[in-house]
Amino acid sequence: MPKGFHHVTQDIRSQIYTLKSIGFSLQHIAKQLGKNVSTISREITRNTTHGKYLYYQADDLACQRRSQASSALKKLTPALIAQIKSRLLEDWSPEQISGRFKREGCLISHESIYRYVWADKRQGGKLYEHLRHHGKKYNKRSSGKTGRGCISNRIDITARPACVEEKLRIGDWEADTIISAVSKTALVTVVDRCSKITLIKKIGKKTAENTCKAIIEKMASLPHPVHTITYDNVLRS
């Protein structure tokens, strides 16, 4: 990456959109933002859809490109893949493998290793069987209520797009509930990971129906698309 190069952030895209909407030239926009004119021109050209440059759509497009680039697993050379396979077959966890690589001066995240394992599974491979609990969420309950609290058709948090972790776009939300110890009523909170916009609604009782209804009501009038909602360790998209 060239020295001094910086990715165009969502904040910069918002400013480009505003200044362009007012009618300023590319030269003026570049001067105001302290960027090269070619940088502004390239940003607008790459992220214009249907003849319009909208900062939130531009951010989505850039995020998608980065996600696709990261999913290509460029760092996983055949030599590294061979080492990963060998250690997985010895029942090392991705976290342990990543930690060993780090000690050896090779930075490979455990998320990248998990993505490789899931890609291998989709192709019919069996590496996932060597993960702890065979890739399944461990259930610590030993009573007759095992399975209580499990969500059907859940999508594990590890499967959400990589760009969600980078907090580069508006529309990736995290939901939670706060329950009163006295009245047993609850608050549903939804926080945008990028902008930190927070929506809060009080519900009478914490039930799945009440929680979903509250989230839908609070998010129905949002000006931007909702891409994902992560509730505890479960992803909804």
- Same domain? For 49 and 95 the reply is no
> In this structure, what CATH number is given to the domain that contains residue 54?
1.10.10
d(CA 64, CA 66): 5
- Same domain? For 92 and 110 the reply is yes
Q: Does a structural domain hold residue 89?
A: yes
Contact 114, 158 (CB under 8 A): yes
d(CA 36, CA 34): 7
- Same domain? For 232 and 174 the reply is yes
- Same domain? For 86 and 55 the reply is no
Report in angstroms the alpha-carbon separations of 8 from 17, 42, 143, 194: 13, 10, 52, 15
Q: How many domains does the chain have?
A: 3
Q: Tell which of 27, 52, 69 closes a domain.
A: 69
Range of the domain at 105: 78-135
Tokens standing for residue 22 = 């007012």
In the sheet where 172-179 sits, what is the strand order?
155-156, 234-236, 228-231, 172-179, 186-192, 198-203
d(CA 229, CA 231): 6
- Same domain? For 104 and 130 the reply is yes
Position 150 scores a pLDDT of 52
- Same domain? For 229 and 187 the reply is yes
Report in angstroms the alpha-carbon separations of 22 from 16, 19, 153: 10, 5, 47
Contact 225, 171 (CB under 8 A): yes
Residues 87-127: pLDDT tens digits?
Answer: 999 888 899 998 888 888 888 888 888 888 988 888 888 89
DSSP-H helix ranges across the chain: 10-22, 26-33, 37-46, 55-70, 78-89, 94-103, 110-122, 162-166, 208-219
- Same domain? For 226 and 182 the reply is yes
Can you give the pTM of this predicted structure? Answer: 0.37
Task: Give residue 221's Cα distance to chain centre.
Answer: 23
Q: What is the mean pLDDT of residues 192-204?
A: 87
Quickly list DSSP for 65-98: HHHHHHTT-TT--HHHHHHHHHHHHTT--HHHHH
Burial 130-168 (b: 16+ CB within 10 A, else e): bbeeebeeeeeeeeeeeeeeeeeeeeeeeebbbbbebeb
- Same domain? For 39 and 96 the reply is no
Residues 117-165: pLDDT tens digits?
Answer: 988 888 888 898 888 766 555 444 444 444 445 555 566 666 777 778 7
Contact 161, 168 (CB under 8 A): no
Q: Does a structural domain hold residue 37?
A: yes
Q: Does a structural domain hold residue 22?
A: yes
- Same domain? For 47 and 86 the reply is no
Tokens standing for residue 46 = 């790459």
Q: Does a structural domain hold residue 152?
A: no
User: For residue 25, which of 10, 13, 40 has the smallest C-alpha distance?
Assistant: 40
Position 40 scores a pLDDT of 92
Q: Does a structural domain hold residue 159?
A: no
Q: Does a structural domain hold residue 2?
A: no
Q: Does a structural domain hold residue 174?
A: yes
Mean pLDDT of the chain: 79
What's the pLDDT band for 27 if we cut at 50, 70, 90? very high
Q: Tell which of 25, 44, 69 closes a domain.
A: 69
What's the pLDDT band for 222 if we cut at 50, 70, 90? confident
Residue 33, SS3 per DSSP? helix
- Same domain? For 96 and 62 the reply is no
Q: Does a structural domain hold residue 143?
A: no
